[in-house]
Amino acid sequence: MADHSLVLALALTVRHDGHGGAADDLSGPEGLTAWVREHAAALDGAALDGDTDRGTGTGGRAAETAATEATIEAAAAEALTAAAFTADDNALTAVRALRAAVRALFARAVLPDPPSAADAQRLLPVEMALELLNAAAAAVPTVPRLEWPEGADPYTVHRGTGDPDAVTALCAALARAAVDFLAGPDRARLRACHAPRCVRYFLKEHPRQEWCGPSCGNRARVARHQRRHRSHAGS
């Protein structure tokens, strides 16, 4: 399975600026370079596409362990790919376009609740977002590879093909992570935080969770108290 934290991290490069507006961690190529290098391990794993289809016989557990070890070893062999990435204007444009598609689809996922306040007036049309995301994911095709460790059941590992440039590989890895998340069960836990000044999306961890974190919960409670106080004062 792809790392869902990767697609959430991409969406959260749009954040509140502390003054009621939004800040963009990807405002320039240097910001994208820093972000990619910070998430190098997850990106290299996603680029290798470690999804596996494992056998269910008596060797299933051994196959699962072997598949995990194979993915880790392959990721370690290519760990410098994202760590050495340097963005230019073309890379920035491509990743920001992909992020816009992801946030548009996040907004659809949280319906009938409203989207993040940062997106309220600038969402891509859903069909455009889907087309952009699927095109990025398809830019690096994957093929199944059969692995069959000694004493274990066989399994398949899906690996990318060809020799894509760094930007294409980056966008494909991000897009596949988004596809995996949006088509999976965790999509139902996605929420937009509507605490004052917050523009984040988050995964709901328990039924009563309303905000992305304790600080947002505190701000929301303070704002609620102030509204009640003003209402009582005006009555």
CA distance 88 to 205: 37
In a domain, 27, yes or no: yes
CA distance 41 to 82: 8
Residue 226, pLDDT score: 57
Under 8 Å between Cβ of 48 and 158 = no
Angle at 14 between CA 225 and CA 223, to 5 degrees: 5
Strand partners, 52: 157
Residue 16, pLDDT score: 83
In a domain, 91, yes or no: yes
Under 8 Å between Cβ of 49 and 159 = yes
Residue 81, pLDDT score: 73
Q: Which residues contact 76 (CB under 8 A, 6 or more apart)?
A: none
Print the domain residue range for 39: 4-52+79-190
Residue 69, pLDDT score: 45
Domain count, the chain: 1
CATH classification of the domain holding 22: 1.10.3300
Residue 25, pLDDT score: 96
In a domain, 200, yes or no: no
- Residue with structure tokens 């005006």? 234
Q: How far apart are the first and last CA of the chain?
A: 55
H or E element that contains 77:
helix 60-77
Q: Which residues contact 168 (CB under 8 A, 6 or more apart)?
A: 139, 140
CA distance 61 to 56: 8
- Residue with structure tokens 């470690």? 50
In a domain, 16, yes or no: yes
CA distance 149 to 59: 10
Tell me the per-residue pLDDT of 79-95, one tens digit each, with 9 for 90 and over: 447 888 999 999 999 99
In a domain, 217, yes or no: no
Residue 6, pLDDT score: 93
Residue 222, pLDDT score: 62
In a domain, 228, yes or no: no
> Which stretches of the chain drop beneath a pLDDT of 50?
1-2, 49-50, 52, 54-59, 63, 67-80, 225
pTM for the predicted model, two decimal places: 0.77
In a domain, 62, yes or no: no
Residue 142, pLDDT score: 86
Under 8 Å between Cβ of 9 and 98 = no
Tell me the per-residue pLDDT of 112-140, one tens digit each, with 9 for 90 and over: 999 998 887 789 999 999 999 999 999 99
- Residue with structure tokens 């949280």? 110
Instruction: For residue 108, give Cα distances in angstroms to 82, 104, 113, 127.
Output: 30, 6, 9, 11
Residue 146, pLDDT score: 95
Residue 73, pLDDT score: 40
In a domain, 234, yes or no: no
Residue 71, pLDDT score: 46
